[in-house]
Amino acid sequence: MGDISGIKNITVSGRIGSGATTLAKKLSEHFKWEMLDGGKIMRKVQNDIGAGVEETSKRPDHFDLEYEEKIKKILSAETHHIIQSHLAGYDAQGISGVFKILVVTEDENGEDKTDIRIDRLVNRDGTPVEQAKHELRERDKQNLDKWRRLYADNDSSWVYWDKSYYDLVINTYDHNQEEAFQEALKKINLITT
């Protein structure tokens, strides 16, 4: 495992279909650090409780609360992890030695390009377009509703993709996978020298 001066762990967060998982995998392979894929864990839980991937509201609150506490413990007490999950960067607030990356898909006006994220789901999962549209919109809405209630006192303006939570924001609207990876490496190297 490669050490990075000043960085114990890295989080990669982003909305569904933003490219966060792809970036996390590339970083994990590059640094030979263990990757925790939050999306994979959440999909398994949804399946185990008999809920569709878009039925976030059916997932018990205690699971979300326990999961986020586990992430905080890993970030605080362990090293050499790449943690990819929606809330990983938010969870890392106030924990030293964590480099927090946010992946967005936004146009030049800062508007989320939902159509591109939907297209990525279609290509990644082989999901029909209409189903991908429904799943992405429902998952985005239900996740945000749940997390605002659990972590933000029902603040309707709170979003986990608030750029102030992160050390680096990478826009995959104008960066391909390799460019996003190289941008992350460049910033990590600047931090560590």
- Higher-confidence residue of 37 and 184: namely 184
Burial of 191 (0-12, 13-18, 19+ CB in 10 A): middle
Beta bridge partners of 133: none
In the structure, what pLDDT confidence band is assigned to residue 193 with cuts at 50, 70 and 90? very low
Q: What are phi and psi of 109, to 5 degrees?
A: -95, 5
Cβ atoms of 97 and 50 closer than 8 Å? no
In the structure, what pLDDT confidence band is assigned to residue 53 with cuts at 50, 70 and 90? low
pLDDT(37) > 90: no
Question: pTM for this one?
Answer: 0.92
Cα separation of 98 and 50, whole Å?
35
In the structure, what pLDDT confidence band is assigned to residue 55 with cuts at 50, 70 and 90? confident
Q: What is the pLDDT of residue 191?
A: 65
Q: In this structure, what token pair is assigned to residue 33?
A: 């650090």
Cβ atoms of 12 and 84 closer than 8 Å? yes
Average of per-residue pLDDT across 75-99: 96
Q: What is the pLDDT of residue 136?
A: 92
pLDDT in tens, 136-166: 999 899 999 999 999 999 999 999 999 999 9
Do strands 168-171 and 98-104 pair parallel, antiparallel, or not at all (unpaired)? parallel
The three-class DSSP label of residue 39 is helix
Instruction: Please state which CATH class domain 9-185 belongs to.
Output: alpha beta
What are the structural domain ranges in the chain?
Answer: 9-185
Cα separation of 101 and 1, whole Å?
20
